[in-house]
Amino acid sequence: MTRTLLRIDASARTEGSTTRQIADRVAERLAPETVVTRDLSQGLPMIDSDWIAANFTEAADRTEAQRAKLALSDELIAELQAADTILIAVPIYNFGVPSALKAWIDMIARARVTFRYTEAGPEGLLTGKRAILAVASGGTEVDSAIDFATPYLRHVLGFVGITDVQVVRSDRQMVDAEASFARAATDIEELAA
């Protein structure tokens, strides 16, 4: 059962976006009690040297300016921590993820907050969560040799501890739109609520 769904919309398109339409259908299928939506269409700030310096300063030693620099990152991480299901609506842009989604990943992948390094290697700290990727493309086949978005997202999510990742795909729309939408419908039907 999905109690809290965090929905990340990564498409730059706010109207006519396939990933947003698919995400609507996935959210309807899951019927969560609470939905928190993070729309990345206007972009996010890129991390910079001040952000990195703040991040690597112990929390108790951070200046007010450093705390302010990390405030958005803290907010994004809190959204992830509160959710039991994360729905990422992601179009494949030029074989990869949109830049705004990469910026979101840079903001939420924080050592000692969402992952930590151990003698056995990195350990994700966001365990017990489920992620659903609603992926759309014009010509790139999901999980093909030229899809650098879907495997990347699986890896990043696993790195922070989210290993239960399912994919709803509406790929290769410009090759065969009807088949593309049929694949998405089938994938949605196979999702457990």
Q: Are 159 and 125 in contact (CB under 8 A)?
A: no
Of 130, 119, 193, 189, the closest CA to residue 161 belongs to 130
At 30 the pLDDT is 95
The answer on pLDDT for 193 being more than 80 is no
pLDDT tens string 135-178: 999 999 999 999 999 999 999 999 999 999 999 999 999 999 99
192 with 26: CB under 8 angstroms? no
Q: Where are the domains of the chain?
A: 4-190
The dihedral over CA atoms of 35, 107, 84, 170, expressed in degrees to the nearest 10, equals 70
Q: Annotated binding residue at 11?
A: yes
- Residue (of 115, 126, 113, 119) closest to 58 by Cα position: 113
Closest-CA residue to 180 (of 41, 54, 42, 21)? 21
Give the model's pLDDT for residue 180.
93
Kindly report the number of other CB atoms within 10 A of residue 89's CB atom: 29
CB 139 within 8 A of CB 175: yes
Which has the closest alpha carbon to 27: 90, 87, 91?
87
CATH superfamily, with its number, for domain 4-190: Flavodoxin domain (3.40.50.360)
Q: How far apart are CA 69 and CA 156, in angstroms?
A: 23
Is pLDDT at 1 greater than 80 in this prediction? no
Query: What are the tens digits of pLDDT across the range 83-106?
Result: 999 999 999 999 999 999 999 999
pLDDT of residue 2: 82
Chain-centroid distance, C-alpha 48: 21
pTM score of the predicted model: 0.95
- State residue 24's pLDDT score: 97
Rounded percentage of the chain residues whose pLDDT exceeds 90: 98
> Rounded to whole angstroms, how far apart are CA atoms 25 and 179?
17
Structure tokens at 87: 């729905």
Q: State the DSSP H helix or E strand holding residue 185, giving kind and residue range, or none if neither.
A: helix 177-190
Which two tokens mark 184? 């998405």
Q: What is the mean pLDDT of residues 44-56?
A: 96
